[in-house]
Chains A and B, each alone.
Chain A
Amino acid sequence: EAQVTQNPRYLITVTGKKLTVTCSQNMNHEYMSWYRQDPGLGLRQIYYSMNVEVTDKGDVPEGYKVSRKEKRNFPLILESPSPNQTSLYFCASNKQGSPLHFGNGTRLTVT
């Protein structure tokens, strides 16, 4: 089954404790991206990747890092999480010109 898999689904952490949210896709898509969803703001792009070792900032990259060492994986790293990063995060992948496929989301709470 074609899918984008994110883990974990729920995560509660404390300020400053490094965390990683994993994302994997099995569709051989070149493009992968991370979005955060906040009430009243819709989804905003954090980072995206056009292929292995090619990443770039989206609209709200501050406080986040990504890496793309393999085509299928695109982890999101928060080196020092803060409460304003409490949000619902989505990973997505797509082929050029095709719609995005989204994962089921990771709900992160930073206290």
Chain B
Amino acid sequence: AQSVTQLDSQVPVFEEAPVELRCNYSSSVSVYLFWYVQYPNQGLQLLLKYLSGSTLVESINGFEAEFNKSQTSFHLRKPSVHISDTAEYFCAVRGIQGAQKLVFGQGTRLTINP
């Protein structure tokens, strides 16, 4: 079984400031890791994923996340945020084998202040 902990329920930052959203997981098997974003009144969209290979993965809108196996973490970072990044962000894991169930963290609400 897997579990995911997002350490911050809310993160307020100023526009153009850097941000880090923390995610830790536990699992007895190898996992895939994901970050999903949910903009207000919308569904979830895949932001980025780690399946294998390079431990640093990037999204098209400037976010990146680094898989750290020893610390069982997959923190999400962006060097300079924009108002349009205001959303809720969910970290999720899924076992490589077996059922396709995604286990989600509790979510982090990112609020960008001008």
Binding site for B on A (CB under 8 A): 31, 33, 35, 40-45, 48, 50, 56, 58, 90, 92, 94, 96-97, 99-105
- Knowing A40-B9, A41-B106, A99-B34 are in contact, say whether A58-B101 is a contact too (CB < 8 A): yes
B99 to A48, Cβ gap below 8 A?
A: yes
Task: Name B102's closest neighbour in chain A (CB-CB).
Answer: A100
How far, in Å, is A29 (CB) from chain B's closest CB? 10
Binding site for A on B (CB under 8 A): 4, 6, 9, 34, 36, 42-46, 49, 51, 90, 92, 99-102, 104-107
- 5 closest A-B pairs by beta carbon, nearest first, are A42-B104, A104-B43, A43-B104, A102-B44, A42-B106
> Chain B contacts of A44 at CB under 8 A?
104
> Chain B contacts of A101 at CB under 8 A?
46
Give how many A-B residue pairs fall within 8 Å (CB-CB): 53
Bound complex: CA A45 to CA B100 (Å): 11
21 A-B residue pairings within 8 Å (CB atoms): A35-B104, A40-B9, A40-B106, A40-B107, A42-B104, A42-B105, A43-B90, A43-B92, A44-B104, A48-B99, A48-B101, A50-B99, A58-B101, A90-B43, A96-B100, A101-B46, A102-B36, A102-B43, A102-B44, A103-B43, A104-B42
Bound complex: CA A25 to CA B11 (Å): 34
